[in-house]
Structure formats: C-alpha cells, structure tokens
Amino acid sequence: NAGVTQTPKFRILKIGQSMTLQCAQDMNHNYMYWYRQDPGMGLKLIYYSVGAGITDKGEVPNGYNVSRSTTEDFPLRLELAAPSQTSVYFCASSYSWGKGNTEAFFGQGTRLTVV
C-alpha cells in the first residue's frame, strides 16, 4: 500500500519556467489537497478537490492550477515560476465525513527552488 506518492522530491526551476508536481493516492480517498510549507508559516492550502472533476481554491492559489480527472491523481501546475514559489509542497488525501475516517495522509513532499 503506497499511500500518497509525490514526484519529484526535489526540483530547481528558473524564473519563468513551468512545471507540474505529480500526486497520486491509492486509498480511494475522495478529498485531495495541495499545501505549501514555508519556514515558520505552517501549512498553507493552495487548492483542494472533493472528488474527480471538482476543485476549489484554498488560501494561496495565485500562480498555481490543478486538475482532478481521476480519483487517484491530483497534479499541481506552476506557470511562470517566481522566487516566491520556493517552498516545500505537500499533497494529502482523506475521506470525507460520510465515508469513514477523516485522517489526512500526506506525501513525502517536493522541495522546489526557483532561481
């Protein structure tokens, strides 16, 4: 049981480049999330999804896009990377209240540096 898998683990981008952070879960969770973690700032929600085909903005969505075409996958797209997007990105998944345990499972993170 792999849980939540994120790729890549590390990436250096130049200003203005774009990339996609991949996230996949094999627990059949309906909720999926993307958080960014900056030192001393906790975890900020970028986007989340309550199921395939449904996404919504979190606290800090600017500069990012997501899609959810399947239950398993929730990629995060960065367009025109900026130094302010240097951070550690975490993908997570969970059930909703009506489906069972609401524990959120996190991936190992992607450390992104924009130079």
Partner 1 sequence: QQQVKQSPQSLIVQKGGISIINCAYENTAFDYFPWYQQFPGKGPALLIAIRPDVSEKKEGRFTISFNKSAKQFSLHIMDSQPGDSATYFCAASMRDFGNEKLTFGTGTRLTIIP
List residues near partner 1 by CB under 8 A.
4, 31, 33, 35, 40-45, 48, 50, 56, 58, 90, 92, 94, 96-98, 102-109
Q: Shortest distance, CB of residue 31 to partner 1, whole angstroms?
A: 7
Tell how many helices (H) and how many strands (E) occur in the chain.
0, 11
Task: Of 23, 40, 41, 39, give the one whose Cα is nearest residue 104.
Answer: 23
β-pair type (10-13, 110-114) = parallel
Task: Of 28, 41, 36, 97, give the one whose Cα is nearest residue 63.
Answer: 36
Closer residue to partner 1 (CB): 14 or 101: 101
Q: Shortest distance, CB of residue 114 to partner 1, whole angstroms?
A: 20
Closer residue to partner 1 (CB): 16 or 57: 57
In which region does residue 28 sit, left (phi positive, over 0), alpha (psi from -120 to 50) or beta (all else)? left
Q: Shortest distance, CB of residue 86 to partner 1, whole angstroms?
A: 17
Q: Shortest distance, CB of residue 29 to partner 1, whole angstroms?
A: 12
Closer residue to partner 1 (CB): 15 or 54: 54
Count other Cβ atoms within 10 Å, centred on residue 115: 9
Closer residue to partner 1 (CB): 20 or 30: 30
